[in-house]
Copies of this chain bind each other. A is one copy, B any other.
Amino acid sequence: MKPIEECVVGIVGLGLMGGAIAMALRNCGALTKNSNTAIGSGNSITACGAASGAASSGAGGGRILACDIDGETLAAALTENVIDEGLPSPENMLGRCDLVFLCLNPSTLLRFMDTWMAHFKPGALITDIAGIKGKIVDAVERVLRPDLDFIPGHPMAGAEKGSFGSAKNVSFHGKNYILTPLKRNRPENLDYLKALIYRMGFGRIMETTAAEHDRKIAFTSQLCHVIAAALIDCESDTAITRFGGGSFEDLTRIAMLNAPMWTELFLENRRELLSRIEQFEKSLDKLKNYITNGDEAALQENLRQVRKRRAAMNG
């Protein structure tokens, strides 16, 4: 791979995370702003081609291209200097990109790989950001062209509201980034991506298998979202927050969820998530029984152990 400063990076899907990644690449100095920008209109490649031709005017020649079905998002991203070029379709973008971030919901990502595999630039490095990994890895193993490299990833960051408009609210600083590398990944590409992830501001990279990712994420992310949703579901009085002291607000901030995406994540990781929900229900039942029976000693001891374990989790 060329130094990132000389790479053409493609972002497929300029939503919350695609936008945040583009901004991080820009802000960390990896890919400075080029002087000429353009939106590829319709199927015309002229505008894109013209913009592409101007690439060498950038600091290292590197550029950020993005494709998205929403023209307004592309226009906003160009106006805000987040991208150098916006295209309505990947057709005229993929063949030019050395590095591609696929920032799509799992189902769209799976369809995307089936449809566009032939269009990637020979030797390109590809990565994704999907919140489930087992199914993605299976598909990649099945459809990936031999000359391409695909390193599955999951940046553990987000914001309450989706879409490009909220991308600037996403902080990568100190956050976790999970990679589930494939056996076939080239070690130099893995090192390359890891260096770039740290450069974008992430604090820790966890390398694990797709199965382990899905097991852990079912707990740290999906179960938490299910709980937050259930908490809101069980109280219809929207003025209840007048009696809040911060706990309820903290527990339900993530209840502002993107319904289609989280439905996909919950259902695609169904087995692991249901197992986690059941574990949680058992612990909840235990506490409920202590309270029902007025078992002060057992309740205190349980809360003491919880406090101790939570403190250890900070370390």
- List chain A positions with a Cβ less than 8 A from chain B: 156-158, 175-176, 178, 204, 206, 213, 216-217, 219-221, 223-236, 238, 240-248, 250-257, 259-260, 262-263, 266-267, 270, 273-274, 276-277, 279-284, 286-288, 291-292, 294, 296, 299-307, 309-315
Contact = CB atoms under 8 A, between A and B. Distances in A.
A220 B232 contact: no
Given A227-B227, A233-B287, A255-B310, 11 more contacts: A206-B243, A216-B243, A232-B309, A233-B286, A234-B283, A238-B315, A252-B310, A256-B307, A263-B303, A267-B291, A267-B299
A310 B232 contact: yes
Contacts of A245: 156-158, 175-176, 220-221
Contacts of A303: 229, 257, 259, 262-263
Residue of A178, A291, A300 with most partner-chain B CB within 10 A: A291
19 contacts: A156-B246, A176-B243, A204-B242, A213-B243, A219-B240, A226-B287, A226-B291, A228-B251, A229-B287, A231-B280, A232-B313, A233-B302, A234-B283, A241-B313, A250-B251, A256-B307, A256-B310, A267-B296, A270-B292
A292 B157 CA distance: 27
Contacts of A310: 232, 252, 255-256
A281 B292 CA distance: 15
B233 A220 contact: no
Contacts of A217: 243
A286 B227 CA distance: 11
A61 to B, nearest CB: 34
B270 A229 contact: no
Nearest to A131: B245
Contacts of A242: 176, 204, 206
**Which 9 A-B residue pairings sit nearest by Cβ, starting from the closest?**
A156-B245, A233-B283, A216-B243, A259-B303, A224-B247, A230-B283, A234-B283, A230-B284, A238-B312
Residue of A175, A244, A251 with most partner-chain B CB within 10 A: A251
A8 to B, nearest CB: 29
Given A281-B284, A288-B274, A307 B250 contact: no
A250 B159 CA distance: 13
A45 to B, nearest CB: 37
A238 B310 CA distance: 8
Given A255-B310, A274-B292, A220 B243 contact: yes
A135 to B, nearest CB: 14
